[in-house]
Amino acid sequence: MYYVNRKGIESRLDCIPDLAEAAGKLAADWRGTPLEGLAQERVLHLALEIVTDVGSYLIDGFMMRDASSYEDIVDIIAGEGVIPPERAEALRRLVSLRKPLVQEYDSWPRGQLHPLAAEMPELLTGFASDVRNYLREELDPWEAR
């Protein structure tokens, strides 16, 4: 039997509706103000942290191979069938933003709407749905025993 931290996964996935809503509003009403730029940075940062945290919980809980990078976390969960390939590509682009957002924030183009911003609502809600479906398929039959 696997030990999968469902509570940790769910608490992170539960943050997605707020992030998706904020990303949608930012993309729809973008004017490039400093406040919008900072809000966008935080939405992107929290989104990528959710993806990597949840991915790490899945990798650890299902004893998948160890990840060598943030992008590899996405590759592993895609390879294991948690997320479909088309979503994996967008999530790879998202997690690749970690270094620029965390280490190169002084050169981040704050006045520009990032291309992923408009995709975020669908991308994040789809990710949450994929993860919950995977957990249901993989764990519920075992937990019923």
Residues with catalytic roles: 98
Please tell me the distance from the alpha carbon of residue 6 to that of residue 18, in angstroms, as a whole number: 20
DSSP 70: H
Four-residue CA torsion sign, 134, 18, 48, 125: positive
Four-residue CA torsion sign, 45, 79, 21, 132: negative
Let me know: does 36 contact 93? Beta carbons within 8 Å: no
Closest C-alpha among 64, 66, 115 to residue 94: 115
